[in-house]
Amino acid sequence: MSAGTTLAEVLAGARRRLSEAGIADAAQDARMLIAGILDLPSTAFVTDGGRPLDDAQLASIDKALARRAAREPVHRILGRRAFSRLDLILSPDTLEPRPDTEILVDTLVPHARTIVAERGACRILDLGTGTGAICLALLDLVPGTTGVGADLSAGALETAKRNAQLNGVADRFEAVESDWFSAVTGVFDIIVSNPPYIVRSVVGTLDEDVRLHDPILALDGGDDGLDAYRAIAAGAGAHIRENGLVAYEIGYDQKDQVTAIMRENGFACVEAARDLGGNDRVLVFSKAMA
Ligand code: GLN
């Protein structure tokens, strides 16, 4: 396409190209990529379709479409995605935050508000923080909270710190390189995690979008998918304040198993939530009464 091609023409061409490459949501992906690259609101396709694009813009769009046609996810190509009220940058070391994980955040917001109201503070620990999504969204939504994001990956922690800065909560966020609790100190009001929970033999069968672009470290939950829950359950007792909460994202079929693991470690399930598809996705635990 040559300079002067209009926004509407570029969109039509992009849609065709992605559709011919077998991308299911070709129209939506084309819109998101073009709007993201040009930094335009999606309404621009309606209000400003006659806008001519220059060579540099056309070249950037062309490159992005080639990557999407090769099955790279839209938000990886753009290097960022929205989560809760945040705009997060992604890196090869971080799982792309999923909309389902916002349910974990939304479940915890009222609890964090109550704790801040009662205690004047609420310390949150996010294990396997990745982009920082869960912890940073809670810090953003609940004034008075402070958070620690722990991760085994130094690269992920750099991204999380950057996201804390970009979203205005860096003064309440600390990043700690840690294998679950190994380098974590102190006690917390809320311990939260979206750990790797995919059964190892299933990881290789995931969609290319996920398998080739999300870090395996963030997906592989060991032989039965539950390794992370066992490790966190074993360490949580020493780091949770009395009446504190431990909250997880879980795989769609892991509710009973994760509840059993937590029960063995002295925690009872006090709340559960389902995802947008109706699957069990969020569990909240508290120390069981003796
Ligand atoms: N929900 C993610 C997926 O289906 C898995 C994330 C995880 O293991 N925590 O790809």
The alpha carbon of 161 and the centre of ligand 1 are apart by a number of angstroms equal to: 22
**Cα distance between residue 133 and residue 83, in whole Å:** 7
Locus of tokens 């990745």: 130
The alpha carbon of 16 and the centre of ligand 1 are apart by a number of angstroms equal to: 30
Give the 3-state secondary structure of the chain: CCCCCEHHHHHHHHHHHHHHCCCCCHHHHHHHHHHHHHCCCCCHHHHCCCCECCHHHHHHHHHHHHHHHCCCCHHHHHCEEEECCEEEECCCCCCCCCCCHHHHHHHHHHHHHHHHHHHCCEEEEEECCCCCHHHHHHHHHCCCEEEEEEECCHHHHHHHHHHHHHCCCHHHEEEEECCCCCCCCCCEEEEEECCCCECHHHHCCCCHHHHCCCCHHHCECCCCCCHHHHHHHHHHCCCEEEEEEEEEECCCCCHHHHHHHHHHCCEEEEEEEECCCCCEEEEEEEECCC
The alpha carbon of 56 and the centre of ligand 1 are apart by a number of angstroms equal to: 36
The alpha carbon of 65 and the centre of ligand 1 are apart by a number of angstroms equal to: 25
**pLDDT confidence of residue 288:** 75
In percent, how much of the chain has pLDDT > 90?
Answer: 96
Ligand 1 neighbour 94 (Cβ under 6 A) = no
- pLDDT, mean of residues 145-172: 98
pLDDT in tens, 188-229: 999 999 999 999 999 999 999 899 999 999 999 999 999 999
Q: Is the pLDDT of residue 290 over 70?
A: no
The pTM score is 0.94
- Predicted ipTM of the assembly: 0.91
Q: Which residue puts its alpha carbon closest to atom 2 of ligand 1?
A: 219
Q: What is the mean pLDDT of the chain?
A: 96
Its sign, for the CA torsion 230, 235, 239, 242, is positive
- pLDDT, mean of residues 249-273: 97
pLDDT in tens, 53-112: 999 999 999 999 999 999 999 999 999 999 999 999 999 999 999 999 999 999 999 999
**pLDDT confidence of residue 2:** 83
Ligand 1 neighbour 219 (Cβ under 6 A) = yes
The alpha carbon of 198 and the centre of ligand 1 are apart by a number of angstroms equal to: 7
Q: Is the pLDDT of residue 1 over 90?
A: no
Ligand 1 neighbour 130 (Cβ under 6 A) = no
Report residue 3's pLDDT band, with 50, 70 and 90 as the boundaries.
confident
Q: Is the pLDDT of residue 253 over 80?
A: yes
In percent, how much of the chain has pLDDT > 70?
Answer: 99
Ligand 1 neighbour 198 (Cβ under 6 A) = yes
Q: Which residue puts its alpha carbon closest to atom 7 of ligand 1?
A: 196
Nearest Cα to Cα of residue 103 among 286, 285, 281, 284: 281
- pLDDT, mean of residues 11-39: 97
